[in-house]
Structure 1
Amino acid sequence: MHSVNWLKWLILALLVSASVLLIIPPKDRIRLGLDLQGGYSFTLELDKAALDETIRGRFPEGASEAEIASRIKEAMASADETAVEVIRNRVDSLGTLEPVITRGKDGRIYVQIPGADEAKRAEAEKLIRSVAFLDFRLVSSRSGDMAQKLFDQGKAPEGYQIADIGGRKYFVRVPNTPEPPPASIQSFGNPDPGYILMFERAKIGDAEAFTPHYVSRRPLLTGEFIKKAGTDVDMMSGRNYVSLSLNTEGANKFEEITGKYCPYGTSNKSSGVGRQLAVALDGVIYSAPTIDERIPGGNAVIRGDFSPAEAKRLATVLNAGALPAPMKFIGKRFVNPTLGEDAITAAKKAIVVGFAAIILFVALYYRFMGVVAAAALILNLVLLPICAVVASNILSIFVPDVTLSGGSILRLPVLTLPGIAGILLTIGMAVDANVLIYERTREEQLAGRPAFPSIMAGYKRAFLAIFDGNLTTVITAVILFVFGTGLIRGFSITLVAGIMGSMYTALVVTKMVFQATVPETRAKPMSMMKLLNDKVNIAFTRCFKPVILVAVAIIVVSIAATVVRGLRNPASIFAVDFTGGAKVSYAVQVPEGADLGKTLGDIRSAATAAGITDASPQFQQSDDATFLEIKTVLTEVGGVEVSEVLTDALAKAEALKDVRFTYLDIDSVGSQIGGEMKKSALVAIVFSGIAMLLYITLRFEFGFSLGAIAAVVHDVLITIGVFSCLGFQFDLTIVAAMLTIVGYGVNDTIVLFDRIREELKRDQKMSFPELANHCINLTLSRTILTSVSTLLTVFALLVFTTGDIFGFAVCMFIGLLASTLSTIFIATPVMLAWYNNKRPSFSIGK
């Protein structure tokens, strides 16, 4: 028996202890992503054009362009940081659980509100949308006459129309029309120089009406002087209002302004009637009271038709401070908390079943060695937390992402549903290292070596193939992390963490176990099952041409069908991640025996009537549940979120009165960010291919890397074509699957090429095609066993998951089958063709 290396066992014990401590107590330490616990996420962007316009508007007449440009540059530099802080203050006022607000690249701001229901979401969005530009503007003395002239002539700004409500004329919004740009409203009606048109909003019953006022272009006082805002109720009218307390400078300015424009004031000497002072917030007038007297003390009020909640919200945004510019919502995602719970339940089943199937498989096939491998897989899961922390910190070097790391190097990254899929996938792929070692051990035992030396030789001879194969998968994971977003980055972290853990357990821990349990003097070989005869010699080289022809035919037909389908309707190929638009999901209860085809038609009609003319509804069945997905290129209708419009339309549709819809989630992506995601996905795939080409050329020769890349192209094209022909759409999760397939396929190819390189140096007589065929047969057991173990985990995902992860599993299933075949029938013949079936120069005479 060998002496025990206690230092290695001590290191293992410390790693296990640290990993367990990282998740105790699990309820506090394991943080779930929005897709698992429900909640809302927003992707925001500062409107820099509006910021430019606002700053210019605040400068007095005659200010130099250099002065203005300098102030704009200064504001732009601090705008993102200011916006993050203001948004954080506003969202914190909701009392939500651990909201995450972070800055991204190119002025992006990401807001995550875990566990938020629809009411919290609506409130948060209103808080964020309010820029809180509060200003006081002087109303033109001719404002009433000019407004009446507009009504008399029947003129209304774009997007508005005149309505008579209660005997008085107002402007009202034209239904289902976009909000016109502020500039078009401000200049409407040819205002006097130095004045612009603004609206005072009023609620009359259920209607929202607007009274026009012509006010000074430059504000007399702004919200920057507010010390505190509160709410109160007018005892006489019973109406809610917002009270303002100004700081010393603001109080002095306010007293000066009211002194100027009160009756017979210094700027109103000829009139016994005070001027009106409009109180506006974000370009909308809330009230325009007449100044009756000079007002000292720095106290003011904002009156309007406020509900208690609206008054409180207004006070909140004023206290939190003004945003430097309006925020553009370029992406939204909502997951119903119930849907998150269902996803966790399904993921647990998939992990338990997939893990149990692999454990049983390796234990039965490799007997005692299989039990050791199974124990290593369990240990891999135990070490996953500490590996995830290390992987998160390493990957954050490339792209910092606080939404995943939580801002602490010792905090577990957020666990997402794609992350769980990554855990399960790495369990299947982890078996590959054990299979390589054990199959090499089998060969050593067949050569007549005793058990222990055979095992040690197995580790030595399998190391390079394991290292190269896993490194290529890590490369794809890093590329995914760099070019992906939150959920996909969660998958990248668990993929890298799983690889780190499996490399350690397979190469170090299992070796320690064998050193402690297998005597050097043992003559009896290690027992294991045999999949193929030792002398198997299938003539794969004879099948190269027919298999390649079949593969080309499948690629041509499936890709052509995909292109035709995409040209007719791009939304049928690409999800909203890439096209922009919205995907709204509902749980549906349909009366028994109902015609689902007619129901879809009624849903489409209801959506069209609500202004969503391109709605594409689709039912999905899962066990005993029915789900509805509605996709559209719109994200809003008349300024209202598309999910609200759809939900209201479905509830009111007479033809759907017997159908019950439960709103589950929305994935909303602006066209700008959709185009960026499509570009990022393409760049990720290209970079991945280049990285593989460079690495394999470095480790082997160009001819070998060319064969590997040909196999990768085959795998990607086959997967794209077949996946699309099955009716699925491509989104970021599918891009993650494609890049994982790239890594897996290259791993498979490297194992074969590593064996070919080894045999080329050992056997100087066999022709290159014969030697390649011989190596395919030598590694065939490993290829089949690894594919089966990985497919077991993918099959578990197929059986137990739904939605995006089901699509991920289908894509992986197709890709794994394609990559298993391409290593033999694409990579090898391309490599042989490059060398013209002659042995490479590096192997001659060695």
Structure 2
Amino acid sequence: MKNFSLNLIIVAVLTVAAIVYILPTAFPGMWPYKKINLGLDLQGGMHLVLEVDTDKAVESTIERTAQEMRDLLKKEHIGGADIERIESIKISAKIKGDENVAKFDKLLDKEFPNLRLVSRVTDKDTVNIIADLPEKEAAHIKEMATQQGLETIRNRVDQFGVSEPDIRRQGEKRILIQLPGIKDTKRAKELIGKTARLEFKLLDEVNDVAAAEKGTVPPGSDLLYQVKEDSETQRITKTPYLVLKRALLTGEYLTDAKVEIDSQYNEPYVSISFDKKGARLFERVTEENVKKRLAIVLDNKIYSAPVIQEKIPGGQARITGSFTDAEARDLAIVLRAGALPAPVKILEERTVGPSLGSDSIRQGLLSMWVGGILVVVFMGVYYKISGVIADIALILNILLIASGMAAFQATLTLPGIAGIILTIGMAVDANVLIYERIREELRSGKRLMAAVMAGYDRAFITIIDSNLTTLMTGVILFVFGSGPIRGFAVTLCGGIIVSMYTALVVTKLIFGLLLNKTSLKSLRMLSIVKPDIAFDFVGKRKLAIGLSLVVIGISCSILVVRALQSPGKVFGVDFTGGSATTFSFERSASGVPVQVDALDAALQKAGVTRSVIQYQKELDSSVETSLQIKAGTELVNGQKPSDVIRTALQTTFPEAKFDVIQVDEVGSEIGSELKTSALWSMLLAMVGMIAYISWRFEFGFALGAIVALMHDVLVTIGLFTLFGNQISLPIVAALLTIVGYSVNDTIVVFDRIREDLKLDTQKTSFKDLCNLSINQTLSRTFLTSFTTLITVAVLLIFGGGAIFDFALALCIGIVVGTYSSVFIATPVVLLWYRHRKPDFSASGAQV
């Protein structure tokens, strides 16, 4: 009684806490001010993965050190010294004369104690010294470059005005950026990715620019360009300049940068202010170089190169360059936020248009409500009062999952919604197992209280075994997955844990209240499967295995042929790398607005020479609903392929009203990593299941489960791609879910086989025992598959867009997984044991 009261209090506290944590999501501004964040696929926005070139940070440090060394040698009047950077990360110093060598050694010990001497060679009166940074110091510089890059980008985004951005470090030198709701994605990319290294350099007015353009760039100089775009004709002109490599002043001394309007030309420019030291340096530079041209260089591009007419005191300067208002504002932002310590490269880019995001929210929520209501109604009708108890547990289940996400301020994505909807279906499984056990106990003649308690006790091990394998899959997804897959894994794992608690504790608690406080004497339930059914499933194993081999052979052969002919039509850019731009369009009277050949010709003309063009339609649609164009990630005329493709389509075919709804750009490095992580996820999930099932049962049972899983994966992939769909990261998540679902189904049958083996006193053949166990669990198999299919079918019907493929793969997988748990897994176990029975008492398998 004490435990009963304690459990009641715990459930009440959890329910109240769940409601409190969910309210701020529905009514923002309420305590505790925590809410569920929406992912980019639900509200539109941009996802970027940047890689900081930390090696460049080390090179820059070496270059600055070499310049400091030159300045100090000049200050200390140490002659006969030649300092230069070699092999990118080393400093070479050649010093002539014993006196100069002695002074240099003192200077090196005093001012540069962190440098490591690599070699010291004396040749007559000249000493050659090569120095570099120790590994520990270089590693520290790389670490700081990534950290400073993170803070600089965060400052830029904050000043840009994006609400609720998510900017965090990923691994050693990567930065993950998510900008929800942003519309001008091109501008955001330029703002984030600009290194913003501001330098003031003198022009090399001695050497010939024309000769430099032909490849003869003099030592100590660089060939840079000033790029201007005519606002009326949009023609771009590039003016070459030779500039001295040494920067006389850099942007590290900036204190402010703001946009002002030139009163003479009415054009915006950026006014910059230096700190006291920078002001003194700027004054000295202008004083010493009157009548010379000083180039203002930003990220190796010249913005202007005015002639210095006189000394400029006060620490004020201006940057001009025929800016638009937006360009001037963005330049001021990056200058105020500071330069990135090293260049960054975009490895992965995903953009979802706001219209697609709003559709996803509506479709996802509709799917969740409709699926949930259908399952609730079905359980209430089929199991009567027991079904109502299961429905109460299901509602609490959803409340607890949502409140947990709100408490941890988790991000809800489309696959996350799919995980919740799948949890709704799978949560019913534990209740079905318990109720079918209670039904069996009632048929054996037990009283209601005894039957309920026995039902919970006998279903407990099966529920733990079946759910732990799915939980294992979810954990592997979270550890080795990325992006949307991890979002799905979080909701799946949370749902499994919560569903076990609500099924084993909450429903038992409600039953206890009903049995103790009311006059309930019986439980009425509908029955679809007759209790005395004795269908020979095992006897049909040869026919079933033959059918499976035919399906796998045909579908996978077609898949291999298509993959060899055009990998881009089978695999998403997640795995192939490249860019995929998806457009909506206005249909013409004859169907699609522009034929593929015309699209290809327009792209060829724009410079996109290799592309895969596909009109796409959903399974329930007879017409094409979107256009997807895949290309590489190499720049086309200095622009991203997705930008070139968008411009080409919108300018060449304006009547089609092509509108970008999604952009995915994945570099080859990321694509390779995603393929590797997907394969490892699948492999580790199977290895984990073999280990767990071998421990809980015997290896023969583990073998049966793994063969069934491989069957499910191959059939699902084969049939899924047969419909013309692509394999992407969300589909890998669906496959791993199918693996967990299938083994869940299989373990329920295996648990009953093990139980029947222990109870068998008539020396029944192993084949007949297996057949008996399959028939005994048939009701549960049918009901669980049906309720899960209800929710996934709703996803398929109402989900649309990004979630449609995910739901289709799950639908195929659930049907195939149910089939394999009956017709594949158990026959493989029979084949392993042949004419003998497994002996669990002797094998040491856990019970």
> TM over 0.5: same fold?
yes
Q: CA deviation at 1:522?
A: 7.2
Contact 1:202 1:305 (C-alpha < 8 Å) held by counterparts: yes
Q: CA deviation at 1:520?
A: 10
Quote the residue 1:43 is aligned against. 49
Quote the residue 1:203 is aligned against. 229
Q: 2:311 aligns with which of 286, 290, 294?
A: 294
Quick one: distance in 1 between partners of 2:145 and 2:734? 37
Aligned: 1:111 with 2:177: yes
Instruction: Give the 3-state SS of the residue equivalent to 2:260 in structure 1.
Output: strand
- CA deviations on 1:612-651 (whole Å, 9 max, x unpaired) are 2314131326779963222213244223233332222222
Q: How does 1:516-535 map to 2 (within 5 A)?
A: 516-518=513-515, 524-535=521-532
Q: 1:703 aligns with which of 693, 700, 704?
A: 700
Q: Kindly tell me: are residues 211 and 775 of structure 1, through their superposed partners in 2, closer, same or farther at Cα, counting changes over 3 Å?
A: same
User: Residue 32 of structure 1 aligns to which amino acid in structure 2?
Assistant: L
RMSD over equivalenced CA pairs, Å: 2.3
Quick one: distance in 2 between partners of 1:105 and 1:643? 27
Q: How does 1:157-168 map to 2 (within 5 A)?
A: none
Instruction: Give the 3-state SS of the residue equivalent to 1:458 in structure 2.
Output: helix
Quick one: distance in 2 between partners of 1:380 and 1:787? 19
Quick one: distance in 2 between partners of 1:348 and 1:796? 11
Q: CA deviation at 1:80?
A: 0.9
Q: Kindly tell me: are residues 387 and 839 of structure 1, through their superposed partners in 2, closer, same or farther at Cα, counting changes over 3 Å?
A: farther
Q: CA deviation at 1:382?
A: 1.9
Contact 2:224 2:241 (C-alpha < 8 Å) held by counterparts: yes
User: Residue 777 of structure 1 aligns to which amino acid in structure 2?
Assistant: N
Quote the residue 1:328 is aligned against. 345
Q: CA deviation at 1:374?
A: 1.7
Contact 1:55 1:72 (C-alpha < 8 Å) held by counterparts: no
Quick one: distance in 2 between partners of 1:252 and 1:519? 88
Q: How does 1:4-403 map to 2 (within 5 A)?
A: 5-27=4-26, 28=28, 29-58=35-64, 59-60=66-67, 61-62=83-84, 65=91, 66=116, 67-70=131-134, 72-117=138-183, 119=184, 121-143=185-207, 146-148=208-210, 189-204=215-230, 205-262=233-290, 274-388=291-405
Q: CA deviation at 1:477?
A: 0.7
User: In terms of mean alpha carbon deviation, does 421-430 or 341-350 score higher?
Assistant: 341-350
User: Residue 7 of structure 1 aligns to which amino acid in structure 2?
Assistant: L
Q: Kindly tell me: are residues 604 and 132 of structure 1, through their superposed partners in 2, closer, same or farther at Cα, counting changes over 3 Å?
A: same
Q: Kindly tell me: are residues 521 and 10 of structure 1, through their superposed partners in 2, closer, same or farther at Cα, counting changes over 3 Å?
A: closer
Quick one: distance in 2 between partners of 1:520 and 1:446? 24
Contact 1:30 1:412 (C-alpha < 8 Å) held by counterparts: yes
Task: Give me the TM-score of the superposition, normalised by structure 2.
Answer: 0.87
Quote the residue 2:559 is aligned against. 562
Quick one: distance in 2 between partners of 1:845 and 1:661? 66
Task: List gaps (5 residues or longer) in structure 1.
Answer: 151-155, 157-187, 263-273, 390-409
- CA deviations on 1:96-137 (whole Å, 9 max, x unpaired) are 2111111001411111111111x2x23221211210111111
Q: CA deviation at 1:704?
A: 1.2
Quick one: distance in 1 between partners of 2:319 and 2:804? 53
Q: How does 1:549-588 map to 2 (within 5 A)?
A: 549-588=546-585
User: Residue 403 of structure 2 aligns to which amino acid in structure 1?
Assistant: I
Instruction: Give the 3-state SS of the residue equivalent to 2:625 in structure 1.
Output: strand
Aligned: 1:605 with 2:598: no
Task: List gaps (5 residues or longer) in structure 2.
Answer: 29-34, 68-82, 92-115, 117-130
Contact 1:612 1:632 (C-alpha < 8 Å) held by counterparts: no
Aligned: 1:652 with 2:651: yes
Quote the residue 2:417 is aligned against. 420
User: In terms of mean alpha carbon deviation, does 685-694 or 330-339 score higher?
Assistant: 330-339
Q: CA deviation at 1:461?
A: 0.2
Quote the residue 1:164 is aligned against. none
Contact 2:596 2:613 (C-alpha < 8 Å) held by counterparts: no
User: In terms of mean alpha carbon deviation, does 475-484 or 644-653 score higher?
Assistant: 644-653
Q: Kindly tell me: are residues 124 and 463 of structure 1, through their superposed partners in 2, closer, same or farther at Cα, counting changes over 3 Å?
A: same
User: Residue 538 of structure 2 aligns to which amino acid in structure 1?
Assistant: T
Quote the residue 1:634 is aligned against. 632
User: In terms of mean alpha carbon deviation, does 130-139 or 826-835 score higher?
Assistant: 826-835
Contact 1:585 1:627 (C-alpha < 8 Å) held by counterparts: no
Q: 1:779 aligns with which of 777, 780, 784?
A: 777
- CA deviations on 1:558-581 (whole Å, 9 max, x unpaired) are 111111110111111101111112
User: In terms of mean alpha carbon deviation, does 616-625 or 355-364 score higher?
Assistant: 616-625
Contact 2:579 2:666 (C-alpha < 8 Å) held by counterparts: yes
Q: CA deviation at 1:211?
A: 1.4
Quote the residue 1:806 is aligned against. 804
Contact 1:451 1:522 (C-alpha < 8 Å) held by counterparts: no
Q: CA deviation at 1:219?
A: 1.3
User: Residue 419 of structure 1 aligns to which amino acid in structure 2?
Assistant: G
Q: Kindly tell me: are residues 300 and 388 of structure 1, through their superposed partners in 2, closer, same or farther at Cα, counting changes over 3 Å?
A: closer
Percent identity between matched residues is 43
Quick one: distance in 2 between partners of 1:542 and 1:196? 81
Quick one: distance in 2 between partners of 1:627 and 1:306? 40
User: Residue 192 of structure 1 aligns to which amino acid in structure 2?
Assistant: P
- CA deviations on 1:224-256 (whole Å, 9 max, x unpaired) are 111222232333344432222222222222233
User: Residue 126 of structure 1 aligns to which amino acid in structure 2?
Assistant: E
Number of residue equivalences: 771
Quote the residue 2:111 is aligned against. none
Quick one: distance in 1 between partners of 2:374 and 2:835? 42
Q: 1:668 aligns with which of 658, 662, 665?
A: 665
- CA deviations on 1:131-164 (whole Å, 9 max, x unpaired) are 0111111211224xx12456xxxxx5xxxxxxxx
Quick one: distance in 2 between partners of 1:797 and 1:129? 38
Q: CA deviation at 1:283?
A: 0.3
- CA deviations on 1:37-94 (whole Å, 9 max, x unpaired) are 1111111111234434444443333466445435654421201110110001111112
Q: Kindly tell me: are residues 435 and 280 of structure 1, through their superposed partners in 2, closer, same or farther at Cα, counting changes over 3 Å?
A: same
Q: CA deviation at 1:737?
A: 0.4
Q: CA deviation at 1:298?
A: 2.4
Quote the residue 2:747 is aligned against. 750
User: Residue 124 of structure 1 aligns to which amino acid in structure 2?
Assistant: A
Quick one: distance in 2 between partners of 1:308 and 1:548? 69
Contact 2:201 2:248 (C-alpha < 8 Å) held by counterparts: yes
Contact 1:575 1:731 (C-alpha < 8 Å) held by counterparts: yes
Quick one: distance in 2 between partners of 1:506 and 1:552? 38
Q: How does 1:445-844 map to 2 (within 5 A)?
A: 445-518=442-515, 524-591=521-588, 593-596=589-592, 599-613=595-609, 614-620=611-617, 627-635=625-633, 636-653=635-652, 656-764=653-761, 765-843=763-841
Q: Kindly tell me: are residues 237 and 747 of structure 1, through their superposed partners in 2, closer, same or farther at Cα, counting changes over 3 Å?
A: same
Quick one: distance in 1 between partners of 2:309 and 2:490? 65
Quick one: distance in 1 between partners of 2:260 and 2:166? 32
Contact 1:230 1:312 (C-alpha < 8 Å) held by counterparts: yes
Contact 1:140 1:215 (C-alpha < 8 Å) held by counterparts: yes
Quick one: distance in 1 between partners of 2:220 and 2:211? 19
Contact 2:48 2:176 (C-alpha < 8 Å) held by counterparts: yes
User: In terms of mean alpha carbon deviation, does 602-611 or 723-732 score higher?
Assistant: 602-611
Instruction: Give the 3-state SS of the residue equivalent to 2:733 in structure 1.
Output: helix
- CA deviations on 1:580-600 (whole Å, 9 max, x unpaired) are 122222221123x22438633
Quick one: distance in 1 between partners of 2:787 and 2:426? 7
User: Residue 26 of structure 1 aligns to which amino acid in structure 2?
Assistant: T
Quick one: distance in 2 between partners of 1:202 and 1:248? 33
Quick one: distance in 2 between partners of 1:520 and 1:140? 96
Task: Give me the TM-score of the superposition, normalised by structure 1.
Answer: 0.87
